[in-house]
Structure 1
Amino acid sequence: MLPALVLALALPVALTVAVSLGATSIPAGEVWSVVGRRLAGEPARPGTTDLVVWQLRVPRALLAALVGAGLALAGTAVQALVRNPLADPYLLGISSGASFGAVAYLVLGAGAGGLLGLGLTSAAFAGALLAFGLVWGMTALARGGGFAPLRLVLAGVAIGQFLSGVTSYLVLRAGDAQQVQGVLFWLMGSLGGATWDDLAMPALTVAAALLWLLARARPLNALALGDESAAGAGVRVAWLRRELFVVTSLLTAALVAVAGAIAFVGLMVPHACRLLVGGDHRRTLPLAALGGAVLMVVVDVLCRTAVDGQELPAGVVTSVLGAPALLWLLGRR
Structure 2
Amino acid sequence: MRPSASPAPPVSSDCRIPDGKANQAPGARGSESSASRMRLTTTCFVLLALLLVSVVVAIGLGTAVVTPGDTAWYLWAALTGGKIGASEATTYQIVWEIRTPRVLLAALVGAGLSTVGVAVQAMVRNALADPYVLGVSSGASVGAVGVTVTGGLAVLGVYAVSAGAFLGALAASAMVYAAAASRAGMSPLRLILTGVAMALGFQAVMSVIIYLVPNSEATSTVLYWTMGSFGAVTWAALPAVAAAVLLGLVVLRRYGRALDVMALGDETAASLGVDPDRHRKQLLVLISLVTGAMVAVSGAISFVGLVMPHLVRMVVGSTHARVLAVSPLVGAVFMVWTDLVARTLVAPRELPLGVITALVGVPVFVTLMRRKAYMFGGR
Q: TM-score range by the shorter chain?
A: over 0.9
Distance in 2 separating the partners of 1:44 and 1:134: 52
Q: 1:236 aligns with which of 266, 275, 284?
A: 275
Per-residue deviation, 1:115: 9.2
The two structures, once aligned, show a CA RMSD in angstroms of 1.9
Distance in 2 separating the partners of 1:228 and 1:175: 51
Work out whether 1:22 is the aligned partner of 2:62: yes
Partner of 1:127: 168
Partner of 1:329: 368
Residues matched between the structures, number: 330
Per-residue deviation, 1:100: 0.8
Residue deviations 1:83-139 (CA, integer Å, cap 9, x gap): 1111001110111111111111222227x9369997111110000011011111111
Per-residue deviation, 1:14: 1.1
Partner of 2:76: 36
Partner of 1:211: 250
Residue deviations 1:16-56 (CA, integer Å, cap 9, x gap): 12101111101111100010011112365432111000000
1:299–1:314: 8 Å Cα contact kept in structure 2? yes
Residue deviations 1:131-189 (CA, integer Å, cap 9, x gap): 0111111112x4x5311111111211121111111112223345433552343134210
Instruction: Specify the code of the residue in structure 2 equivalent to 1:101.
Output: G
Distance in 1 separating the partners of 2:175 and 2:71: 46
Distance in 2 separating the partners of 1:258 and 1:29: 30
Distance in 1 separating the partners of 2:160 and 2:268: 46
Instruction: Specify the code of the residue in structure 2 equivalent to 1:26.
Output: V
Distance in 1 separating the partners of 2:239 and 2:299: 17
1:135–1:155: 8 Å Cα contact kept in structure 2? yes
Partner of 1:269: 308
2:144–2:221: 8 Å Cα contact kept in structure 1? no
Instruction: Specify the code of the residue in structure 1 equivalent to 2:60.
Output: S
Q: 1:279 to 1:288 in 2, by over 3 A?
A: same
Q: 1:116 to 1:100 in 2, by over 3 A?
A: farther
Partner of 2:288: 249
Partner of 1:177: 216
2:145–2:218: 8 Å Cα contact kept in structure 1? no
Q: 1:105 aligns with which of 147, 157, 166?
A: 147
Q: 2:340 aligns with which of 296, 301, 306?
A: 301
Instruction: Specify the code of the residue in structure 2 equivalent to 1:35.
Output: L
Q: 1:173 to 1:309 in 2, by over 3 A?
A: farther
1:32-181 maps to which residues of 2 (within 5 A)? 32-42=72-82, 45-46=85-86, 47-109=89-151, 113=154, 119-140=160-181, 142=182, 144-177=183-216, 179-181=218-220
Distance in 1 separating the partners of 2:346 and 2:62: 11
Q: 1:45 to 1:174 in 2, by over 3 A?
A: farther
Q: 1:160 to 1:179 in 2, by over 3 A?
A: closer
Q: Which runs of 5+ in 1 are unaligned?
A: none
With normalisation by structure 2, the TM-score equals 0.83
1:109–1:115: 8 Å Cα contact kept in structure 2? no
Identity %: 43
Query: Which of the two has higher C-alpha Rg?
Result: 2
Q: Which runs of 5+ in 2 are unaligned?
A: 1-39, 375-379
Distance in 1 separating the partners of 2:308 and 2:160: 31
